[in-house]
């Protein structure tokens, strides 16, 4: 699947990126036959990522459509929280879920961590640094992707997603 210049895509370790160009890469003045994406991460406008079009190590996909966004939002209340039997595996499970590069997984992470946040608050505690780190990443990825699809701001999406999930932010 080749992405077009100007298209927004999702990359598993980066989040949302704009495809600035699809071109052979200039290596020491010699143009390579292989095509590369020049990607601009949405959250780092001064950065550029060069990735071979046929790079299988970096999962890339198109941003979901408006219809897919609406279907996802309709399903939010039904999303199950992640089951973590062993606290030592929590970060590994979060990382795996985040890197699958799926909106449903990001929503699952958000719901899981907000539920933990509520539980910890009732005990007078805060969530862990690991929870905070993965909550921020999942929210950034999900809200930006949905915002692009619906032509809205991420903050507007956050309110809607949390409402659909059934979470009141403190």
CA-CA distances (angstroms) from residue 116 to 23, 112, 128?
45, 6, 10
Query: Residue 31's pLDDT band (boundaries 50, 70, 90)?
Result: low
Could you tell me the pTM of the whole model? 0.88
The separation between CA 134 and the C-alpha centre of its own chain, rounded to angstroms, equals 10
Top-tier CATH class for 66-165: mainly alpha
pLDDT tens digit sequence for 47-74: 999 998 998 888 899 999 999 999 999 9
The pLDDT assigned to 78 comes to 92
Please give the backbone phi and psi of residue 8, each rounded to the nearest 5 degrees, phi first.
Answer: -95, 135
pLDDT tens digit sequence for 92-139: 999 999 999 999 999 999 999 999 999 999 999 999 999 999 999 999
């Amino acid at each position: 699947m080749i992405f077009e210049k100007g298209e927004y895509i999702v990359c598993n370790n980066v989040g949302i990126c704009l495809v600035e160009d699809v071109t052979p890469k200039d290596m020491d003045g010699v143009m390579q036959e292989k095509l590369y994406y020049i990607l601009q991460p949405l959250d780092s406008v001064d950065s550029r990522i060069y990735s071979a079009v046929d790079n299988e190590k970096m999962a890339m996909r198109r941003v979901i459509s408006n219809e897919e966004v609406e279907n996802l939002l309709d399903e939010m209340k039904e999303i199950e929280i992640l089951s973590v039997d062993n606290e030592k595996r929590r970060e590994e499970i979060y990382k795996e879920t985040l890197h699958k590069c799926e909106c449903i997984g990001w929503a699952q992470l958000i719901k899981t961590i907000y539920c933990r946040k509520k539980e910890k608050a009732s005990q007078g505690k805060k969530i862990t640094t690991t929870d905070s780190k993965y909550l921020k990443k999942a929210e950034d990825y999900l809200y930006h992707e949905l915002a692009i699809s619906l032509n809205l701001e991420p903050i507007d999406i956050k309110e809607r997603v949390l409402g659909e999930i059934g979470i009141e932010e403190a």
